Amino acid sequence: MSKSKKMSSLATDDVTLRSSKRKRVADSYVEVDNLNDQNNIEGAHSDRKDDLTMEEMKKQMKEMKKMMKKMKEMEMLKKMMKEIFADTSDSEGLISDHEQKSKAKISAVARVRLAKTIKAKGKARRPRRDIFPFMLLPGEIRNQIYDWCLTNDREAAIEVQDPPNDHPERVRIEREYGNENTMPYKRFTLNALEPKILRLTKVIHKEAASILYSRCFIFGSAKAVVAFLAAIGPQHCLLLRQIVFGRGRNFDFKRSEIFAMFQLLTAYTNIASIKFNARFPLVYYERITFQNSRDSFFVKGFIQMIWDLSESWFRAMAVEQGNIFAGVTVFSIEQVFWEFVGPMAKMKGRSLTNAEISYAWSQRQTTGAQLQQCFNAGIKKFLRAKFSIYQADDNGHF
C-alpha cells in the first residue's frame, strides 16, 4: 500500500509538473511584481498624455463653439436675406427639411428684426420735431426775411450812444436853446445791436450781417466810435457802408475827437459814405472868409485844417481805390453846416444894418450852396498838389 501511495503521489507530482510546463501562459505569473511596476510607470505616462489631450480638447471645444456661433449667425443672415430679397425653393437645394418646417417662424423673426433696424435708423436720422427747411428757400426770399427781422424802417439810422461812465452822480442834458438842467443819474445799458436771428447758425449770420451793418450809423462822439468798432470786431467793420458824425447843428466836436475818428477809419476803406453833421471848433470858422471883389469864399485855411486831421485817411482811400479824389467822394459835410457858416462869413468884420443881416440870412440856402461849391473845388485842387507824385489824370485816376 505504501508503494502504491508513493506511486500515486509521484504520478500526481508528475502531472502537476507536466501541466505547469504545458501551460506556458502561467509562467508569466512568476514575475508579477515586476510587471505591476512597469504597468504603473506606463499608466503614469498615459495619464499625462490624457491630461494634455483634455486641455487641447477643451480649447478645441471652445473654438468649435465660436465657429458654431458664427455659423449660426451666418445662417440667420442668409435666411433673412433669402426671406427678404429672394424666393427660395426646394429644387435649388437652398433650404433643408428642417428649414422648411421653421420657415414661417424665421420669416417672422426676420421681419421683426428688420422693422426694428429701420425704426432705429429712422430715429437716428430724423430729428424729434420737424424743422422748417429755411435754408432751402430761394436767396431772394431769405433776404426779404432778413430785412424784415433786422430793419423796421430801411431809411431810419441807428444811433450809437456813448458808453456810460463808471459812477457819475449827475448828467447834464442840453436843451434846444442851450440851457442846461440836471437830473439824477440812471444806469442804462446799450441795446443789443445784434438780433437773435444772427445767432442761429454761421450761414445765417454770414448772409444777414451785411443787411444789418449796411444801414446808416450815427455817432455822437469819438468814444462811441471806439466802443462800437471794438464791440463788432474787424470782420463786421468791413461791412459798414454809411457813417454820420454828430446829431445836428447844435452838436460840437473837438479837434482831438475828429483826429481820433479819422485814425480809426483809416483801416476801413470799404465805407461808402462819411458825413459830418456837427459844428467844427470856432477856429475853423475863422478860416472861412468872403471876398467881395470876387464874390466867392476863401476856404484854403479851412481845407488845410481838415487835412491836418484826416491826412492818413485821405491817403489810404487814394491808394485803395486808385484815385486821388476818392476821399472827396466819400467824405462830405452836411448842407446845414454850409447854410449856417455862409451868412456868418459874409457878415464877419462888417457893420451891417438889420435889413442887410436879415437879407443875408434869408439867402442862406444860396449862400450855403456857393460856399460848398468853393470848398469842393478848393479841396480837389489841394489834393492834386499833395498827390502830385501819382501823376493822376483829370478825373484823379492813377
For the segment 12-53, what is each residue's pLDDT rounded down to a tens digit?
444 444 444 444 444 444 444 444 455 554 554 455 545 557
pLDDT > 50? residue 187:
no
At 10, the pLDDT band (50, 70, 90 cuts) reads very low
pLDDT > 80? residue 280:
no
What is the predicted pLDDT for the residue at 371?
Answer: 80
Q: Do residues 371 and 346 touch, judged by C-beta distance below 8 A?
A: no
pLDDT > 50? residue 236:
yes
Give the separation between CA 261 and CA 318, rounded to whole angstroms: 18
Give the residue with greater pLDDT, 176 vs 376: 376
Least confident of 3-7, 126-130, 271-275: 3-7
What is the predicted pLDDT for the residue at 278?
Answer: 75
What is the predicted pLDDT for the residue at 182?
Answer: 47
What is the predicted pLDDT for the residue at 374?
Answer: 85
Give the residue with greater pLDDT, 335 vs 275: 275
| Residues facing residue 182 across a β-bridge | 172
Judged on CB neighbours under 10 Å (0-12, 13-18, 19+), 211 is middle
Task: State pLDDT tens for residues 138-156.
Answer: 888 888 888 777 766 555 6
Give the residue with greater pLDDT, 80 vs 319: 319
**Whole-prediction pTM value?**
0.54
Pairing of strands 242-245, 216-219: parallel
Q: Do residues 217 and 157 touch, judged by C-beta distance below 8 A?
A: yes
Count of CB atoms situated within 10 Å of the CB of 328: 19
E-strand spans in the chain? 158-160, 170-174, 180-184, 216-219, 242-245, 273-276, 289-291, 296-298, 331-333
Least confident of 77-81, 257-261, 276-280: 77-81
Give the separation between CA 110 and CA 83, rounded to whole angstroms: 8
pLDDT > 70? residue 100:
no
| Cell numbers representing residue 232 in the block | 463788432
Q: Do residues 332 and 276 touch, judged by C-beta distance below 8 A?
A: yes
- The mean of the pLDDT values for the chain is 70
Least confident of 60-69, 158-167, 231-240, 349-358: 349-358
